Structure 1
Amino acid sequence: MPELPEVETTCRGIAPHVVNKIVQAVVVRQPQLRWPVPANLAEQVVGQKLLGVTRRGKYLVLRFATGHMLVHLGMSGNLRVVARREDPGYHDHVDIDFGAQCVLRLNDPRRFGAVLWTSAPLLEHELLAHLGPEPLEALFDADYLYQRSRKRKLAIKAFIMDSKVVVGVGNIYANEALHAAGIRPTRAAGTVSRAAMERLVSEIKQVLARAIEQGGTTLKDFVGGDGKPGYFQQQLLVYGRQGQPCRGCKKPLKEVRLGQRSTVYCTSCQR
């Protein structure tokens, strides 16, 4: 599914095309997504100027004077800027129409995404209120992660994928960061040392930053806001490489299931 770098790539890709543009119409072809699209969504935004596009965790946030539209890409969705003349496809469920300028179109084959509206304070929304810090911000550091992990028996991989601990460290990037930090993903979070947490935080920040620069990771369905795929997959060291040689020690990479997620690591380089 689209993870933080893919959502950030989408955010950066669409913003220059739609910010400060006025919504002319909203077209909802399929209201039954993960949660129903609000029936009054058009009433909330038509005629309003889009003031900004930001990201919180894996949610895209479209800011208007009277509230915020929250967009989640689900398992395989994408939010793209398209020409108004481009006919919608079968899985193109929601259009935010900016008139002659462009259309912001949500494509979501599995319908696990969401388009929601809130006029309440943004960070009080039930989907955002309990989220942890952003991984690329200063608040997310080794001291924070070390203190949060003490006495936790949860596997370190599952721990850093908990959005209440830190947002946006999805399966792909958790695999990669733990490998780079030399930490076995099955280790209990509470047994990871302060020094190892320092390495892990640094690697999480680096792997996410690199992925954003490369436009995210395209595995099946993801494309960025400009319709182009991400290229970080070419740099993956462990994810999807089970059975292949570790690029460090050359031993075959092992795959296990943690939380029903594929987890790939090196039994020699990660401890």
Structure 2
Amino acid sequence: MPELPEVETVRRGLEALVVGKTIERVTVTLGRIIRKPDDIEEFKLILQGLTIEEVKRRGKYLLFGVGPYTLVSHLRMEGRYGLYRADEEVEKHTHVIFHFTDGTELRYKDVRQFGTMDVLPREDFSELPGLHELGPEPLDESFTPDVLRKQVHKRRSGKIKALLLDQTFVAGLGNIYVDEVLFVSGIHPEANVTRLTDEQIGKLQRAIVDVLTHSVNLGGSSIKSYVNGYGSEGQMQHELRVYGHEGEPCPVCGTEIVKSRVAGRGTHFCPTCQPQPD
């Protein structure tokens, strides 16, 4: 599943590619991707004739500003966007096409078919379930150690890995970057959140910002099928230090990287750099 760096990379590409383009019509071939409005024809009619004014992001959600509406798009497992000429062949698994007045098309392709789209009035989109409950935005300047500390202190128990995967705690992190962040901060994935010291929370906040920023700068991680808006792969997968490296030596101390299961997810860590909590 694309995580924050991948979605941010897609956002930046789409901002350069489609902002200012006017939607002539919309084609939808898989209706269940569209959640709001309930009527697919209404979805198409709402967007017809409107211009894409901006592309923003909240957590793992893409937010297209289209006239008085916001198109909220979640890529889920394998959703991807690409800009094409109208005369180019439409690939298999292309489920939504935004036809622009300039003869180009923004096509949404989703092999797994888990992605979603919602169109809501701009003043209402932030109340969309899922989006509404998101925690702090980790790449926003307002995300400080104090903010993370307050989030931690709201929780009475739980393993830190499970907490970081919870989108209501911090928005945008997924399995790959949680493993990397915990390694950088030297925290074991099974550490109880109530036992974290202020020093550890500070290291964790810095690690979240640094790892995500570095990944965005590299265009994200192309572990499976992820590509950006231009169809190019990211490069962060070449710099992951623990994720996917089980059985290999830790890049810091040389201890063998271990893979276990925490919070129902495959979890990679260094037992020396991230000691088991007491």
Indicate whether the TM-score tops 0.5: yes
Q: Is 236-245 or 134-143 further displaced after alignment? A: 134-143
Shift of 1:83: 2.1
Distance change >3 Å, CA 75–CA 47, structure 1 → 2: same
TM-score by length of 1: 0.95
Distance 1:34 1:178 in 2: 36
* Corresponding letter in the other structure for 1:69: L
Distance 1:101 1:215 in 2: 28
Aligned partners of 2:82 and 2:108 also within 8 Å:
yes
Pick one of 214, 221, 224 that aligns with 2:228: 224
Distance change >3 Å, CA 181–CA 34, structure 1 → 2: farther
Three-state SS of the structure 2 residue aligned to 1:24 is strand
Question: What residue in structure 2 maps to residue 139 of structure 1?
Answer: 142
Distance 1:118 1:206 in 2: 34
Asked whether 1:166 is paired with 2:170, we answer yes
Distance 1:70 1:34 in 2: 10
Query: Is there any run of 5+ residues in structure 2 with no aligned partner, and where?
Result: none
Shift of 1:229: 0.6
Q: Is 219-228 or 83-92 further displaced after alignment? A: 83-92
Count of aligned pairs between the two proteins: 271
* Corresponding letter in the other structure for 2:128: H
Question: What residue in structure 2 maps to residue 24 of structure 1?
Answer: 24
Aligned partners of 2:260 and 2:267 also within 8 Å:
yes
Shift of 1:121: 1.9
Distance 2:247 2:166 in 1: 27
Distance 2:58 2:97 in 1: 21
Shift of 1:20: 1.5
Shift of 1:33: 3.1
Aligned partners of 1:77 and 1:221 also within 8 Å:
no
Question: What residue in structure 2 maps to residue 70 of structure 1?
Answer: 72
Distance 1:204 1:85 in 2: 43
- % identical aligned pairs: 34
CA-atom RMSD in angstroms: 1.5
Asked whether 1:245 is paired with 2:266, we answer no
Q: Is 170-179 or 123-132 further displaced after alignment? A: 123-132
Aligned partners of 2:21 and 2:101 also within 8 Å:
no
Pick one of 152, 160, 163 that aligns with 1:149: 152
Shift of 1:38: 4.7
Distance 2:146 2:68 in 1: 38
Deviations 1:105-139 (A, max 9, x none): 11110011011111252212223211111001133
Distance 2:34 2:272 in 1: 41
Question: What residue in structure 1 maps to residue 95 of structure 2?
Answer: 93
Question: What residue in structure 2 maps to residue 104 of structure 1?
Answer: 106
Shift of 1:98: 1.1
Question: What residue in structure 2 maps to residue 204 of structure 1?
Answer: 208
Aligned partners of 2:34 and 2:118 also within 8 Å:
no
